């Protein structure tokens, strides 16, 4: 997905609690393709902004 730029990003939900967070939504790319995504984040600390790791799921719609 690095080769294409997103022209639109719709975020449907954002959740966070402690050291964990999640978001999901839809990305529309320059070439017209749409992708539904869900990302799960683990942060280094509950109040920090540094991400320890990310798990992502992407579906072509």
- Report how far residue 36's alpha carbon sits from residue 34's, in angstroms, rounded to the nearest whole number: 7
Confidence at residue 47, expressed as pLDDT on a 0 to 100 scale: 81
Domain ranges of the chain: 6-60
Assigned CATH topology for domain 6-60: Nuclear Transport Factor 2; Chain: A, (3.10.450)
> Residue 5 pLDDT more than 90?
yes
Phi/psi-derived region of residue 28, left when phi > 0, alpha when psi is between -120 and 50, beta in every other case: beta
pLDDT tens digits, one per residue of 15-47: 999 999 999 999 999 999 999 999 999 999 888
Confidence at residue 31, expressed as pLDDT on a 0 to 100 scale: 93
pTM for this model (two decimals): 0.83
Report the helix count and the strand count for the chain, using DSSP H and E: 0, 4
């Amino acid at each position: 997905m690095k080769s294409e730029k997103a022209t639109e990003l719709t975020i449907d939900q954002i959740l966070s609690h402690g050291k964990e967070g999640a978001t999901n939504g839809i990305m529309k790319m320059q070439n017209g393709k749409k992708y539904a995504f869900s990302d799960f984040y683990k942060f280094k600390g509950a109040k920090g902004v540094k991400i320890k790791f990310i798990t992502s799921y992407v579906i072509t719609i």
